[in-house]
Amino acid sequence: AQSVTQLDSHVSVSEGTPVLLRCNYSSSYSPSLFWYVQHPNKGLQLLLKYTSAATLVKGINGFEAEFKKSETSFHLTKPSAHMSDAAEYFCVVSPYNFNKFYFGSGTKLNVKP
Amino acid sequence: GAGVSQSPSNKVTEKGKDVELRCDPISGHTALYWYRQRLGQGLEFLIYFQGNSAPDKSGLPSDRFSAERTGESVSTLTIQRTQQEDSAVYLCASSLEAGGAEAFFGQGTRLTVV
């Protein structure tokens, strides 16, 4: 069975402080993992993806995520939050050779000045 | 085209009417997906097309929902006898290949049933 759990529905940080958005997954197959961002009234944009290469993946806008198979986690981090990072973030799993994307329920990131 | 294109961007319809939503995927993408996003919720899988294979319709919520795709081009999602609970943003995505390729999403169609 495939599933994605985003552990926090809302995260609030101050500008300039680190961001951690947590994601755990369950997959019967070797998965590809993605983080997407959705700004208000905008479409979904790919932040980064893991596809069985390096376990630490760097994405756009300074975000990165680390694939930890032993913990079945794919947490998203950024060293220093910017006001423009305020958005909703979705963790997504796509089991290898099984073309369907399973979305987490999303984490809304609020960045305070 | 440069990205996934969906039309209309907004649709307001009366309860009981049929609606048709259109998706133009990225040229050359064999896989096409429809998702639904209700207000304040995550994305709900509806249907998946891959080339000429039979579509995966496992996410369609009722027989009022149907979708078609001609080859590897345009797809239409049809909702018959719309209900208020059908109000949502309907997102289309396409991807290049099977097995972990990233999906590119359109801007969505915001459907409001009044």
Residue B100 is predicted with a pLDDT of: 61
Q: Which residues of A touch B55 (CB under 8 A)?
A: none
Residue B83 is predicted with a pLDDT of: 97
Enumerate the β-bridge partners of residue B12.
B112
Say if residue A26's pLDDT is above 70: yes
Q: Which residues of B touch A36 (CB under 8 A)?
A: 105
Say if residue A113's pLDDT is above 60: yes
- Mean pLDDT value across chain A: 90
pLDDT in tens, A67-103: 998 899 999 999 999 999 999 999 998 876 666 788 8
Q: Does A40 touch chain B (CB under 8 A)?
A: no
- Name the residue in chain A with its Cα closest to that of B97: A99
Residue B39 is predicted with a pLDDT of: 85
Sequence-separated contacts (24+) of A10-14 with Cβ below 8 Å: A10/A107, A10/A108, A10/A110, A11/A107, A11/A108, A11/A109, A11/A110, A12/A109, A12/A110, A12/A111, A12/A112, A13/A81, A13/A109, A13/A110, A13/A111, A13/A112, A14/A81, A14/A111, A14/A112, A14/A113
- Mean pLDDT value across chain B: 91
pLDDT in tens, A28-40: 777 889 999 999 8
Say if residue B89's pLDDT is above 90: yes
Nearest to A101 among B33, B99, B106 (CB): B33
Residue A98 is predicted with a pLDDT of: 63
| B108 to A43: CB separation less than 8 angstroms, yes or no | yes
pLDDT in tens, B36-85: 999 878 889 899 998 888 888 989 999 999 999 987 789 999 999 999 99
Nearest to B43 among A34, A99, A103 (CB): A103
| B42 to A32: CB separation less than 8 angstroms, yes or no | no
Residue B111 is predicted with a pLDDT of: 98
Say if residue B99's pLDDT is above 60: no
Say if residue B9's pLDDT is above 60: yes
| A99 to B93: CB separation less than 8 angstroms, yes or no | no
